[in-house]
């Protein structure tokens, strides 16, 4: 970016941010909105997009990892950036919670986005909002639908490892458990299938052997050919292979599309929890719909990820705008 543009938008950001602060102070129960930073940071979207694009160009899987960060943030006490806080000797965050440890990644990319954004609009954009924009840009870059992102979240001053352990469903979950985890954050079975369960998320990205070993070895409900293939990369009960990676969607591992639904209909979900969505139960009809119709899938995915972004956000004068996403101010 040319330095004249940067300094122009920098001074504009300083000016307008003063007004924004007054507005925020005035309405403690603010709602999220699409144009929250339009005046205070007009270069926000291109700045985020550039940094996310560069990160995914370096490593395609990063797009998947970044999308997942938003999910793992929102399911634990709302979309408040709590997953980004580092552990310290006196503070236990969420990064080492069971669903996250050795598994979630992308924090360096979030740091890069934050520092690019602080460069043009210092002190204005929350880390929680950045996760929402980063997730959208990742999906678009991987070939999925675009959607307008609601903004205005503020960052948590705390995190909860216990809540992270509790709220993010494990891959051993059955359908009932998946539905109840979604209900706990105000999402329904349609969101589960149209979005999480649809494995739209799981049409991109990788899973570690430890998360699917039981499933490929011990369950009868999985396609035989897929089970054989995956066993090769995950040879035994020996934990030495725990971190071997396999694509969640073997048809198109780094493209965001609806192919995962074909996999489910053919009993080729890689995770037990994935195949639960096509197991003769109440989610089957939606899985069939999305396997036939990429349009229905894209439309419902956008509705659901927007709903997830609304989960218990901190707004108004709650929380803070972190200067560094890894620690409270």
Q: Which residues bind ligand NAG (CB under 6 A)?
A: 97-98, 161-162, 165, 213-214, 217-218, 237
Task: Please count the other Cβ atoms lying within 10 Å of the Cβ belonging to residue 27.
Answer: 11
Which 3 state secondary structure label does DSSP give 207?
Answer: strand
Task: Say how far apart CA 10 and CA 16 lie, in whole Å.
Answer: 10
Piece of the chain touching ligand HEM by CB under 6 A; list 148-156, 167-175, 259-267, 288-296: 167-175
Rounded CA gap, 225 and 211, in Å? 19
Q: How far apart are CA 272 and CA 233, in angstroms?
A: 17
Burial of 317 (0-12, 13-18, 19+ CB in 10 A): middle
Window 55-94: residues binding ligand HEM (CB under 6 A): 61, 64-65, 67-68, 71
Provide the minimum distance between the beta carbon of 32 and ligand HEM in the complex, in angstroms, as a whole number.
18
- Which runs of consecutive H residues, i.e. helices, occur in 148-188? 161-167, 175-184
Tell me if 93 sits within 8 A of 158, measured CB to CB.
no
How near is the Cβ of 34 to ligand HEM at its closest, in Å?
A: 20
Q: Is 252 in the site for ligand HEM (CB under 6 A)?
A: no
Q: Which is nearer to ligand NAG, 188 or 218 (CB)?
A: 218
Residue 255 interacting with ligand HEM (CB under 6 A): no
Known catalytic residues are: 72
Q: How far, in Å, CA of 21 to CA of 14, rounded?
A: 11
Residue 107 contact among ligand HEM, ligand NAG, none, beta carbon within 5 to 8 Å by kind: none
Q: Which residues contact 279 (CB under 8 A, 6 or more apart)?
A: 175, 221
Q: Which is nearer to ligand HEM, 67 or 97 (CB)?
A: 67
Of positions 49, 157, 190, 208, contacts ligand HEM by CB under 6 A: 208
Residue 197, binding choice from ligand NAG, ligand HEM, none, Cβ under 5 to 8 Å by partner class: ligand HEM
* Cα angle: 129, vertex 106, 123; to 5 degrees: 35
State the minimum distance, in angstroms, from the CB of residue 329 to ligand HEM. Answer: 28
Residue 97 binds which of ligand HEM, ligand NAG, none (CB < 5-8 A, kind-dependent): ligand NAG
Check binding of 204 to ligand HEM (CB under 6 A).
Answer: yes
Task: Give CA separation, 69 vs 158, 208, 287, in Å.
Answer: 17, 17, 24
Q: Which residues bind ligand HEM (CB under 6 A)?
A: 61, 64-65, 67-68, 71, 103, 105, 169-171, 173, 178, 196-197, 201-202, 204-208, 211, 271, 273
């Amino acid at each position: 970016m040319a330095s004249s543009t940067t300094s122009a938008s920098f001074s504009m950001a300083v000016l307008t941010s003063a007004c924004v602060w007054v507005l925020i102070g005035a309405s403690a129960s603010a709602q999220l909105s699409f144009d929250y930073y339009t005046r205070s940071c007009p270069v926000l979207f291109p700045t985020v997009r550039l940094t996310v694009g560069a990160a995914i160009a370096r490593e395609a899987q990063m797009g998947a990892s970044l999308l997942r960060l938003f999910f793992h943030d929102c399911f634990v006490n709302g979309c408040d950036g709590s997953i980004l806080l580092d552990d310290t000797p006196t503070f236990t965050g969420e990064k080492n919670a069971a669903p996250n440890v050795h598994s979630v990644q992308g924090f360096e990319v979030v740091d890069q986005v934050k520092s690019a954004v602080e460069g043009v609009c210092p002190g204005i954009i929350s880390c929680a909002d950045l996760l929402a924009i980063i997730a959208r840009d990742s999906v678009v870059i991987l070939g999925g639908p675009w959607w307008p992102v609601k903004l205005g979240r503020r960052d948590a001053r705390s995190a909860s490892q216990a809540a992270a352990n509790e709220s993010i469903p494990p891959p051993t979950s059955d359908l009932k458990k998946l539905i109840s985890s979604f209900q706990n954050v105000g999402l329904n079975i349609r969101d589960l299938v149209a979005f999480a369960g649809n494995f739209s998320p799981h049409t991109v990205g990788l899973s570690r052997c430890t998360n699917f070993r039981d499933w490929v070895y011990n369950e009868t409900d999985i396609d035989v050919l897929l089970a054989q293939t995956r066993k090769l990369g995950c040879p035994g009960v020996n934990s030495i292979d725990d971190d071997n990676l396999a694509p969640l969607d073997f048809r198109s591992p780094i493209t965001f599309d609806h192919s995962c639904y074909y996999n489910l209909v053919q009993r080729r979900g890689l995770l037990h929890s994935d195949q639960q969505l096509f197991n003769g139960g109440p989610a089957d009809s939606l899985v069939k719909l999305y396997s036939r119709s990429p349009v229905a899938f894209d439309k419902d995915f956008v509705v659901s990820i927007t709903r997830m972004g609304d989960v218990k956000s901190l707004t108004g004068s709650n929380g803070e705008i972190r200067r560094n996403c890894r620690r409270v101010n």
